[in-house]
């Protein structure tokens, strides 16, 4: 591997912080930094707009980590399924980062649930792309979501390189905490995830809780599980002028504003926001007569079955005049929505991390979120927001009222939100992941040396 001696100064900065002793501290010393990473994202492209379809926090994660890896001099090639016939084979997303579109099945009309049947075609496209290179072109495969892990499992065997995998969501966790209107994850995903856990050289978990779930529910080897908290773009998501943000978005200057951002599907529970708003208006019509509820996002997953269910629910609850629905927007405008809101709501039934919660806090907006999954890490309960056990809209209404009706406490939470979010930078995430890559490479090389010695 070239350039290793010149990279030692950079490598010494790699540290794994914040994990308990049961999980290894990856990147704790001089390491071998990879030259090139093959990143696999079968079902959603990093070029897609987050907040609609299957594009969400995982897209942001891949984009932001790739940028930081490129800044360290590591080339990243992202393989994703072509979703339109007019897409160029390769797109340069940023210097050092390319997106390669692989044809696998019809360009349109395939849902995520249909994609397992296209994995052979996708794998073939990935292997053909690598075959055009010199042997040993990629040093590590990093797959995202179980579909990509299936492809990575085969590619790692062909290329002789380690497979690092990020689950992002776990089917067994989702099935244990579903919305009443949702459907369980299928058996083929449960089996597929277990296979990827067994095949991966390293598993990257978003939080300590996810790492423990991988061990407990999937029998992952703790020595192969690393923890790397996702980050937030602290340059884009930062505090700003709330009055100016509201003026620019056409919001009343003094009205209470509640915000939901993300994909509209039962798992994310945006209906709770509408129900709690109706509860607040019923409790104190005068206090909340100017209440504004904003939902920024588009239908996704099982939410596609009833794309207009939220507008219908708002009408049934009698709060249509208090509700605004906004299509997904870019990060700069999304930051304005966070700044304009008094509170950001994340009432999901399951979250591996909850990136939108950290984005909101980085803009100085406290979060009221479900006390589930990674949200326990993303939100500091009582300091940067409030974590609510369960999913009773009345409990969320009470939590929101406790802040909206107490300006002093709300101001304290705003300061706490900024402080807490400052702990989550993408540079730290990327450093930890490079440490995982380095250890996986070192282990692979050590295994080869043992085999060579045995043969000799």
The tokens for 267 are 């798992």
Instruction: Give CA 92 to chain center in angstroms.
Output: 22
| 17 marked ligand binding residue | no
Helices (H), 72-165: 119-131, 145-159
DSSP string, 49-83: PTTSTT-SHHHHHHHHHHHHHHHTT-EEEEEEE--
| 302 marked ligand binding residue | no
Q: Do the Cβ atoms of 388 and 345 come closer than 8 Å?
A: no
Helices (H), 179-330: 187-199, 208-218, 242-249, 271-283, 309-317
| 15 marked ligand binding residue | no
| 263 marked ligand binding residue | yes
Please give the Cα distance from 93 to 59 (Å, whole number): 13
Please give the Cα distance from 429 to 206 (Å, whole number): 10
| 396 marked ligand binding residue | no
Per-residue b/e over 375-403, b at no fewer than 16 CB within 10 Å?
bbbbbbeeebbbbbeebebebbbbbbbeb
| 167 marked ligand binding residue | no
| 351 marked ligand binding residue | yes
| 57 marked ligand binding residue | yes
| 413 marked ligand binding residue | no
Residue with structure tokens 């209906």? 271
| 365 marked ligand binding residue | yes
| 1 marked ligand binding residue | no
| 67 marked ligand binding residue | no
| 339 marked ligand binding residue | yes
| 407 marked ligand binding residue | no
| 331 marked ligand binding residue | no
Three-state DSSP state, 386: strand
| 338 marked ligand binding residue | yes
Please give the Cα distance from 314 to 275 (Å, whole number): 8
| 202 marked ligand binding residue | no
| 221 marked ligand binding residue | no
Annotated binding site for Mg(2+): 338-339, 341, 365
Q: Which residues are annotated as a binding site?
A: 43, 49-50, 54-59, 112, 145, 169, 189, 263, 268, 329, 338-339, 341, 351, 359, 365
Binding residues for UDP-N-acetyl-alpha-D-glucosamine: 49-50, 57, 263, 268, 329, 351, 359
Extract the annotated binding site for 1D-myo-inositol 3-phosphate: 43, 54-59, 112, 145, 169, 189
């Amino acid at each position: 591997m070239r350039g290793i001696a010149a990279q030692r100064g950079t490598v010494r900065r790699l540290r794994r912080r914040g994990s308990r002793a049961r999980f290894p501290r990856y990147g704790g010393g001089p390491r071998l930094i990879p030259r090139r990473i093959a990143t696999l994202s079968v079902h959603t492209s990093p070029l897609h707009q987050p907040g609609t379809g299957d594009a969400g926090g995982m897209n942001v994660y891949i984009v932001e980590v790739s940028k930081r890896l490129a800044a360290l001099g590591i080339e990243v090639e992202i393989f994703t399924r072509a979703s339109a016939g007019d897409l160029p084979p390769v797109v340069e997303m940023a210097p050092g980062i390319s997106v390669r579109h692989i044809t696998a099945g019809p360009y349109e009309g395939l849902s995520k649930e249909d994609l397992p049947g296209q994995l052979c075609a996708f794998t073939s496209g990935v292997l053909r792309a690598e075959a055009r290179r010199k042997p040993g072109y990629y040093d590590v495969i990093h797959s995202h979501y179980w579909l990509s892990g299936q492809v990575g499992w085969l590619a790692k065997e062909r290329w002789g390189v380690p497979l690092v995998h990020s689950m992002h969501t776990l089917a067994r966790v989702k099935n244990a905490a579903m919305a009443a209107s949702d459907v369980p994850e299928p058996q083929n995903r449960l089996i597929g995830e277990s296979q990827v856990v067994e095949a991966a050289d390293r598993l990257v978990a978003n939080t300590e809780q996810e790492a423990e779930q991988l061990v407990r529910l999937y029998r992952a080897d703790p020595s192969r599980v690393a923890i790397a908290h996702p980050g937030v773009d602290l340059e884009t998501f930062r505090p700003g002028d709330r009055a100016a943000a509201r003026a620019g978005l056409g919001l009343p200057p003094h009205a209470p504003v509640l915000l939901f951002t993300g994909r509209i599907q039962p798992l994310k529970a945006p209906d709770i926001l509408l129900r709690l708003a109706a509860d607040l208006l019923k409790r104190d019509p005068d206090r909340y007569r100017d209440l504004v509820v904003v939902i920024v996002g588009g239908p996704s997953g099982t939410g596609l079955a009833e794309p207009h269910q939220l507008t219908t629910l708002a009408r049934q609850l009698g709060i249509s005049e208090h509700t605004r629905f906004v299509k997904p927007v870019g990060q700069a405008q999304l930051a304005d929505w966070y700044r304009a809101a008094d509170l950001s709501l994340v009432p999901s039934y399951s979250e591996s991390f909850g990136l939108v919660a950290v984005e909101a806090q980085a803009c100085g907006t406290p979060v009221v979120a479900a006390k589930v999954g990674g949200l326990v890490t993303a939100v500091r309960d009582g300091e940067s927001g409030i974590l609510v056990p369960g999913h009773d809209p009345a409990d969320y209404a009470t939590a929101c009222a406790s802040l909206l009706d107490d300006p002093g406490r709300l101001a304290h939470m705003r300061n706490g939100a900024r402080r807490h979010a400052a702990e989550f930078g993408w540079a730290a995430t990327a450093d930890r992941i490079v440490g995982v890559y380095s250890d996986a490479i070192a282990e692979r090389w050590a295994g080869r040396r043992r085999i060579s010695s045995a043969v000799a």
